[in-house]
Amino acid sequence: MKQKLASLDIGSYTARMLIAFRESNPYRILPVSRAREYISIADYFDEESGTIKREAINRVAGVVNSFVLHARQEEVDRIFAVGTGLIRRAINREEFITGIEEITGIEIIPISGEQEAYLTSIGAIYSLRIGNEESLAVIDLGGGSTEFFIRRDGKELSYSIPIGAAFLHNKYISSDPPKEHELYKVCAHIKGVLKGHLRTQDKDNLDIIVGTGGTVTALGALVHGISMQDISAERINGRVLQYKEIRDLLERLRNMDLEQKIHILGLDKKRAKVIIAGTIILMNILDLFCSEDIIVSLSDLLEGILLKPQIIEEEI
């Protein structure tokens, strides 16, 4: 049996869609097209009240509408749409989601951090062809949250922590380039949150660490000489980022203003804005895992949704 499906993730910083064929014999997915737009929900999130401002609804709904139109032009059999990151954290998430659903006509399922971590691992492990016998961590570094999936000795653990590139940039960085005290606050915040969530037995002696998300793929592209426009699963999946390479990039980034990141490095404006905070998150995570490298994967939650749609259907 062959179905044409679309998966859509409305995250804290970007909305993304994957259209792919899913075959049942053999069980696999064959990507057709991808789409991504910045929606910057993190810019509309009021941390004090824990709410997303209403003006974000029309912005997000416009992007979702364009995705849905494309999916229908591709004659997909079904669209699976989820809300992640700051959407699930927002006190007014039901009001926010309902507002988008009324405009777009598409049902959006807010999934838990544990579900997001697990589905991301399914997509990455499948795409990278990682065997069941290897212990690993899959880390999804997003705009408003970071998800962890850890597999060791036949046991699996999934969880989410409230640190993300856009969230921390908005909270602490207002200078361009950022000042030393701003970077110190970002780093201190990350260390405090990680210390409270990661246990020693969760992070020691893993065979593989995989990273997904916009920061990780952008860093992978910069290190391996891939232009931002040419990032694809075929070109970026499986690329290795060395800790030293990430550290050296951070030293360059921290001394560049926004325009230099755009014109010298080729980053788009939205990614250039938050990449320093994202890079600091990644380095702190690798420090905590005592890891010298990380494998990059563009394939993530979107593939996981199509491979395991029953997890989304359970929430309907």
Please tell me the CATH superfamily of domain 114-296, with its number.
Answer: Exopolyphosphatase. Domain 2 (3.30.420.150)
> Hey, do 2-110 and 114-296 end up sharing a CATH topology, with the first three levels equal?
yes
Tokens 């260390």 belong to 191
CATH 1.10.3720.10 assigned to domain 2-110? The reply is no
Would you state the pLDDT for residue 269?
Answer: 96
Give percent of the chain above pLDDT 70: 97
Average pLDDT over residues 286-304: 95
- 176-220 pLDDT per residue, tens: 999 999 999 999 999 999 988 776 556 667 999 999 999 999 999
- 256-269 pLDDT per residue, tens: 999 999 999 999 99
Q: Where are the domains of the chain?
A: 2-110, 114-296
- 90-149 pLDDT per residue, tens: 999 999 999 999 999 999 999 999 999 999 999 999 999 999 889 999 999 999 999 999
* Mean pLDDT taken over the chain: 94
With cut-offs at 50, 70 and 90, classify the pLDDT of residue 26: confident
Whether 47 has a pLDDT exceeding 90, the answer reads no
Give percent of the chain above pLDDT 90: 87
Contact assessment for residue 39 and residue 10, using Cβ atoms and an 8 Å cutoff: yes
